Amino acid sequence: MDPQHNPVRGKQIYEGKAKRVYETDSPGHVIFEYKDDATAYNGQKHEVFQGKGVLNNALSSHFFTLLANQGIENHFVRTLSEREQLVRAVQIVPLEVVVRNRAAGSMSKKLGIEEGTELRCTVLELCYKRDELGDPVIGIHHAVAIGLGSYAEIEWMERSAREVNMVLSGIFDSIGIELIDFKLEFGRLPDEQGRLVLADEISPDTCRLWDRKTGERLDKDRFRRDLAPLLDGYREILGRLTQTAGGTT
């Protein structure tokens, strides 16, 4: 694709909880438009926060750019506007890889472990993306058995998730934030024999992020649990990133 080409947005082809996806006149590319909606508990809780989409677009674009600079291939191409980014079109694998550095959220609830407890190792979970089933945690054998991917593909996704964890943990540590856990999605490039790349988004919607000094939660848990104004946390993260050396978005 010509890097100078300004893609024309075509018809909407998908709408999710946080984004709309549009066709473009650039083969193999689509446009993500970030919405202001916040949802939790598989859509049972929903609210609109003016400006949330602008913040998530800036943050996700920033993280994908930094990951690409570290050799982690992903679908991101470039930012187009406050709310839009150009990405490579992929077929999303209906499997989330959840990376847990400390106990929190559903892990704490299911296992009776206090939130914030240090873990003896980083935990990787595979979650089957099915809202009606509550995105259940499954094993690699389940994933292969129902056709979500091969053993080699899923092992590759897990290795990539560990690499992403190393890079993101370093980024957040440099601005006084601890990456507690996060989820990743991957997609297959349709024109390259289904080769996998990192996809979707990386933002405070998909990560748990705690201030290292105060323990304040700066992520979507502010909305999930009615803790504090949602966007104040997102703005705090973006502000710290832009103040660090080379931290432009």
Q: What pLDDT, in 10s, does the model give residues 84-139?
A: 999 999 999 999 999 999 999 999 999 999 999 999 999 999 999 998 999 999 99
What is the average pLDDT value for the chain, to the nearest integer? 95
| b/e per residue 25-52 (b: at least 16 CB within 10 A) | ebeebbbbbbbbbbbbeeeeeeeebeeb
pLDDT tens for each residue of 221-247: 999 999 999 999 999 999 999 988 454
| 9-90 and 92-243 agree in CATH topology | no
pLDDT tens for each residue of 28-57: 999 999 999 999 987 789 999 999 999 999
In 80-234, DSSP assigns E strands to 84-88, 91-92, 95-102, 118-128, 137-138, 177-188, 196-199, 207-211
- Long-range contacts of residues 189-195, Cβ cutoff 8 Å, at least 24 apart: 189/28, 189/88, 189/90, 190/28, 190/89, 190/90, 190/91, 191/28, 194/91
Give 164's contacts (C-beta < 8 A, 6+ positions apart). 67, 72, 99, 184, 198
Give 42's contacts (C-beta < 8 A, 6+ positions apart). 131, 134, 135
pLDDT tens for each residue of 10-32: 999 999 999 999 999 999 999 99
Q: How does residue 3 score in pLDDT terms, banded at 50, 70 and 90?
A: low
Question: What's the predicted TM-score (pTM) here?
Answer: 0.94
| b/e per residue 70-87 (b: at least 16 CB within 10 A) | eebebbbbebbeebbbbb
Where in the chain are the domains? 9-90, 92-243
Q: Report, as an integer, the average pLDDT of 168-180.
A: 98
CATH no. for 9-90: 3.30.200.20
DSSP state of 244: S
CATH no. for 92-243: 3.30.470.20
- The answer to whether residue 191 scores a pLDDT higher than 80 is no
Residues in the chain: 249
